[in-house]
Every structure is written in C-alpha cells, then in structure tokens.
C-alpha cells in the first residue's frame, strides 16, 4: 500500500535550518510529484512547493523561494525539504503529499513533522 | 495571494445535510477546475474527499459531493454522521501554485 513516512519532530533555534524527510513506498516513486504543505497556528495550510522525483525539477511558492530547498533521492525513494532562516512563525506541522495527475489531487499524505522554532 | 475564504464553522444534526463554501476569485476557483476538498480529524493528516470540483476518490462515501458556481466552490455532506465531525479545507490551483482555504470546523450536534 502507498505510504509516505516522514522524519520526526524537530526543535530549532531562530536563524537555523531544518530538514524534513519523506520516505515513499508502495508505488513508483518517480511517477508522482511530491508537494510540501505546512500547517501552522497563524497561517493555516500553506503550499510551499513541489519536487518532481523523476527529473528533479522544482517549483517553490514565492513566499518561500529564498529559504526553501526541495530535493529527492531516487535510490532511497525519499524526498527532502530544507527550510533556512527559521523564524518563530515557521513553527508548524510540515506535510509531504503525493499528487496524482496534474490537477491538485493530493491523494496520499505523510503523517506530518512538527517543527518548533524556539530560542 | 490570499487564502480562499471559508466559514469558520458549520453545524448540523445527524441525518441532516450541510454545505461548506469556498470563495476565491477568477484567478483561482473561478478560473480552473482544480478545486479539491480535504477532511482532517484532530492530530491527523488531511484526507482527500473531492478532487477536480466534483469527483470522489475510491472509498469516499457518496454522501460527500462537490460543485462550483463562478468563484465559489461548495462541499455538501448529506446524511450527517458523528464521524463527519472534523475540519474541512478547500484548495485550488492558481498561477503555478496552490491555495488553501482557512478551514471550516464541522460540528455534528
């Protein structure tokens, strides 16, 4: 069965970086784009961007363009999202999700990774 | 880009029907048939309930239906059940990115 299993919770200091992983299984990893979405108390659900596991192509939301890096490791069927320059309002649950097709059909989601930014 | 607008809360009794609206603009909801709806229970990841405005994924009850008129999309849940109590979010494609609604808390009375 399709599964997206994310890395565990992280606590980071303001200005630091955090990297969240998303291990995919149960399907052809290269066949589906992986999106990253976060959910925080201030901004609710926010789309951050996507990575194409097949080509490595990326597309970032303008808000995160300068601070986010999305990569993938096809040998490990894992996608990564790194966010730098952390601020307190980056405290949120970060989700990876698979897009089936090209019309925003986010059909499987990871369990979420809580990132807490605190000094 | 602003988030899509949803009512903060709706409620209904078991067996009744409710509708949740999702209002955007001609640049997102009104311009594309890429509206999806997600159900989220506390502490859980979102679950896809409707995609491409009105399509249900396999396994989702036919009590859930979606529609769109102009810049507003709607999710209707008929025959409300206790297990439907959750948060519901809409999403839409816009200009090479995606928007989400602020979420609606559904309470089953």
Partners of residue B7 in chain A, C-beta under 8 Å: none
Partners of residue A99 in chain B, C-beta under 8 Å: none
Partners of residue B98 in chain A, C-beta under 8 Å: 35, 47, 104
Q: For chain B, where are the E strands, in sequence order?
A: 9-12, 18-23, 36-40, 47-50, 64-69, 72-77, 86-94, 97-100, 104-108
Average pLDDT of the segment spanning A68-72: 98
Average pLDDT, chain B: 96
For residue B18, the model assigns a pLDDT of 98
**3-class DSSP assignment, residue B68:** strand
For residue A49, the model assigns a pLDDT of 97
Confidence of residue A43 (pLDDT cuts 50, 70, 90): confident
Interface touch B33/A106, C-beta < 8 Å = no
**3-class DSSP assignment, residue B105:** strand
**Is the pLDDT at A23 greater than 80, yes or no?**
yes
Torsions phi, psi for A37 (to 5 deg): -135, 140
For residue A104, the model assigns a pLDDT of 85
First to last CA, chain A: 40
DSSP run (H or E) holding A103: none
For residue A90, the model assigns a pLDDT of 95
For residue B30, the model assigns a pLDDT of 96
Q: Which residue of B has its CA nearest to A61?
A: B97
For residue A8, the model assigns a pLDDT of 97
Low-confidence ranges of chain B (pLDDT < 50): none
Handedness of CA A34, A110, B54, B71 (dihedral sign): negative
For residue B1, the model assigns a pLDDT of 57
Cβ distance B67 to B56 under 8 Å? Answer: no
Decide if A27 touches B, using CB distance below 8 A.
no
Cβ distance A97 to A38 under 8 Å? Answer: no
Selected for mutation to probe chain B from A37, A42, A45 (highest B CB count within 10 Å) is: A45
């Amino acid at each position: 069965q399709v599964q997206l299993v994310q890395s565990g919770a992280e606590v980071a200091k303001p200005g630091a970086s955090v990297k969240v992983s998303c291990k995919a299984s149960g399907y052809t990893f290269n066949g589906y784009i992986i999106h990253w979405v976060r959910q925080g108390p201030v901004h609710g659900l926010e789309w951050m961007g996507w990575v194409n596991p097949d080509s490595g192509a990326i597309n970032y939301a303008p808000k995160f363009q300068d601070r986010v890096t999305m990569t993938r490791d096809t040998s490990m069927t894992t996608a990564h999202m790194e966010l730098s320059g952390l601020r307190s309002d980056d405290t949120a649950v970060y989700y990876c999700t698979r897009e089936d097709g090209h019309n925003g059909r986010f059909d499987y989601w990871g369990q979420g990774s809580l990132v807490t930014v605190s000094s | 880009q602003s988030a899509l607008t949803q009512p903060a809360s709706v409620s209904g009794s078991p067996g009744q029907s409710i509708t949740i609206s999702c209002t955007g603009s001609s640049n997102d909801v009104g311009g594309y048939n890429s509206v999806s709806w997600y159900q989220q229970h506390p502490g859980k990841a979102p679950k896809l309930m409707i995609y491409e405005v009105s399509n249900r994924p396999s396994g989702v009850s036919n009590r859930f239906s979606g529609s769109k008129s102009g810049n507003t999309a709607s999710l209707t849940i008929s025959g409300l059940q206790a297990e439907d109590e959750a948060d519901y979010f809409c999403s839409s494609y816009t200009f090479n990115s995606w928007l989400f609604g602020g979420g609606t808390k559904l309470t089953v009375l």
